[in-house]
Amino acid sequence: MKVYDVIVPLFEIRDNIESFIDNWFKELPIRKLILGFGKDKIKTPKKYEDQIITLNQTENKTLGKCLSELISEVKTEWFIYLHSDVEIIQHVFDILKSYIKNDVGGIEGEPIIIRHIKGELKYIFPERYFIKRGYSGFQMFRTKCLSNLIKKIEDDYIFTNEDIITQNAVSSSGFRYIKTWAIYLHYNEGLRKNTEKNAKDMFLGILKYTKPNELVKNLIKVTMRSYHDIFKPINSDEIIEFIKKNNSEWLSYIEDFVNSF
């Protein structure tokens, strides 16, 4: 049976994290479970101690840097990226891995969101299969598709859009990114804090870490327009200088747009 490395960033250690770890080992063929903890050190179950690697990421400021370190530990051709509040349903991984083909570099599952809203447990089926942009939670990646990306990540600009950036890295490396009906459970998924810095990081991260295509160009327009309307006017000179310094491939696509604000 083929085995895979699994990476999971843990900013906060969940009280029931051991039950999630049990689920992952039960439902996934794991070579190594690579955990990055961002606050308190995790106490991993002893029965898996030979298969778990833990990274102390308390000094990191961003999810991007954490992912870069975690992916750098991967030794398998493909790896699985999980959020720490994800439960894998029995046999669903067989569906996900069936999409592995020679021209595929990324594969995504479809979540059922489980969240407490006003004291009630709500089950939300967001139908992300029909949305072109990628979403993190339960994904597989061909490791070499992200090798160039992880060398570049060094700052605050990933924020929560690692899904868009990794999806773009797959397509930019010449492989397909597939969205599937492999259903999984995603508990208490948090909502993004709509602060000025977070809103700005959303589009700066895309500009810095992606190659222009129709999907990310449309996302840039939406995120920049939202920032401009909610927080403060876009400084076109600042954005153009950022692009010249960090990713000049965007220059011919974005110059007219930023000057339109």
Q: Answer with the one of 160, 187, 214 that is the final residue of a domain.
A: 187
- pLDDT of 37: 87
- The model carries a pTM of 0.93
- pLDDT of 130: 92
CA distances from 92 to 135, 137, 185 (A): 17, 14, 11
- pLDDT of 229: 92
Tokens standing for residue 114? 């489980």
Is the Cβ–Cβ distance between 37 and 56 less than 8 Å?
yes
Helix (H) or strand (E) holding 214: helix 214-230
> Could you tell me the CATH number of the domain that includes residue 112?
3.90.550.10
Q: Are residues 149 and 22 in the same domain?
A: yes
Q: Are residues 52 and 178 in the same domain?
A: yes
Tell me the pLDDT of the chain (261 aa) as tens digits.
Answer: 799 999 999 877 777 889 999 999 999 999 999 999 887 677 778 899 899 999 999 888 888 899 999 999 999 999 999 999 999 999 999 999 999 999 999 999 999 999 888 778 888 989 999 999 999 999 999 999 999 999 988 877 887 789 999 999 999 999 999 999 999 999 976 666 678 988 898 899 999 999 999 999 999 999 999 999 999 898 889 999 999 999 999 998 887 777 777
Q: Answer with the one of 136, 152, 187 that is the final residue of a domain.
A: 187
Query: Domain span at residue 102?
Result: 4-187
Tokens standing for residue 128? 């992300």
Angle, CA 232 vertex, CA 231 and CA 237 arms, to 5° = 135
Q: Answer with the one of 187, 214, 230 that is the final residue of a domain.
A: 187
- pLDDT of 42: 74
Report the number of secondary-structure helices (H) and strands (E) in the chain. 9, 9
Q: Count how many domains the chain has.
A: 2
55 pairs with which residues across the strands?
36
- pLDDT of 189: 66
